[in-house]
Amino acid sequence: MRAAQAASRRAYAPYSRFKVGAALVAGSGKIYTGCNVENASYGLTICAERSAVVQAVGSGEKKIQRIAIFSGEAKKTLTPCGACLQVLLEFGPEARVEMIGPRGQTLAKKITELLPYAFNIGTLLGLAFLCLAFAGSPLAAKARSAKDVMKDLKSEDLETQMSARRSLRNFRFSEIVGAMTKFARDPNPELRILMAQTLGELGGAEAADSLRSLYNREKEPNVRRALLVQLAGLFARRDEGFSFYRKAALNDQDDTNRYLALNQLSLFNQFSEYRRSLKKICRKVQTKDRYDQNQMLAALMLVEQGVSEPEGQEKLFLALQNPTVEIRRRAALHLGPLLARLKNGAREFAGLSISSRDPDPEVRSSFCVSLGKSRNPVGLPILKSLATDKEPDVRHSALEALASFEKSDASLDVFAQALNDPEKSIRSYAIEQLEKASSPKMVPFLEKVAQDDPNPDIRFLAKKAIAAIKLQQ
């Protein structure tokens, strides 16, 4: 939800002024974000949901597990348009859409519930038979059996291989599963990986049993990795998915594969019935896994579940220096309770400046959130520094965190400086906070904005804030 809210602030919406953000969890467990990008030719506008999908697919993802969408301008819970649902369905027929309301309430639905009569491959095949001459259609590939097409995948000629890959997508899962699973015995691991990808793309939930069986027999780590990724979000029953990834997280012989499986398990934290088992798994990984990254991830997952343990706290600080950006992001976001207990001069607090200089803006933004939750005044100098960060999202997060502290003249000066920020949303937020503070000292700053700001909306908000402050004097 936080990622979707942050993405909405990056939206380009000068015409509708309706900014939307989306954040999706891909098959690998990674998060990709998008925002709406408007155009003077309205039909060329790109919605936030499709923007996030493009980011994910461009990074090599082919599956969507779930997506969250948010708009600060929405008066009620926001739902995706039909075009976006159609695109989401292409990569996540079993995915869930989490729609965040204006007060933070969330409505979650399956894509098929929101788009029950979607245009899919079955529709496409029907239309193709009606509209195309069979000989000139891609469906002509089905004149050959799946077994014949599969043979072409072994060809040394690259063009023949590519043609075979395209032809495979003209078959239904039931027509190809037998021939594809025979590739599980092929000596070429690249072909076995292709087999896993094709089964997952064509079969959806139908392919779960076949892919799980292939994973259990596979000896090559890279192929098992491809199967782990393809199985994400495919299990018809939640218990089956949890059991499968639990076994992989504890027993797979490859360090990276165990990390992927453990990361997938972290998605189950949203379901109360799995939290006790998840804590046991994390404690076991934290103490017995030989791979530092897995121990670190397990410690983070325990913190995310509200578990406070000395060993986990130590790993949480170490995670801020981890080379994996996803770990640093998660660590920075969950530092709040620990920061609240630290005192000025504490060794750990001195080390937190690492996060304020992290090259990834989302880490710096998440760190601001944690400092705000801690309400520890020791963090105020860091927040004031981040309020001038080069990234708009970080500046906005720093101001939001500062707003959670008691207002003082020093912090009000930071909001006064933000009145000159190039981002309209940040100037608007600064005006809102200065109005709440109701300090007469801020009126001259607001008067300058009311007169000189290039945006009429900002000038109006500044005049409104001035009137409200003077009314309370």
Which sequence positions are flagged as catalytic? 49
**Residue corresponding to tokens 């509209």:** 131
CB 183 within 8 A of CB 150: yes
Structure tokens at 82: 């039909």
Side-chain-side CA neighbours of residue 409 (13 Å)? 2
In a 10 Å sphere around its CB, with 0-12 CB exposed, 13-18 middle and 19+ buried, how is residue 329 labelled? buried
**Residue corresponding to tokens 């069986």:** 213
- Bridge partners (DSSP) of residue 34 are 22
At residue 34, φ and ψ (nearest 5 deg) are -155, 160
CB 21 within 8 A of CB 7: yes
- Give one DSSP letter per residue of 107-121, joined into a string: EEEEHHHHSTT---H
- Bridge partners (DSSP) of residue 66 are 25, 96
CB 32 within 8 A of CB 56: yes
Cα gap 329→324, rounded to integer Å: 9
Cα gap 324→294, rounded to integer Å: 11
CB 211 within 8 A of CB 233: no
Cα gap 211→416, rounded to integer Å: 58
Cα gap 100→114, rounded to integer Å: 15
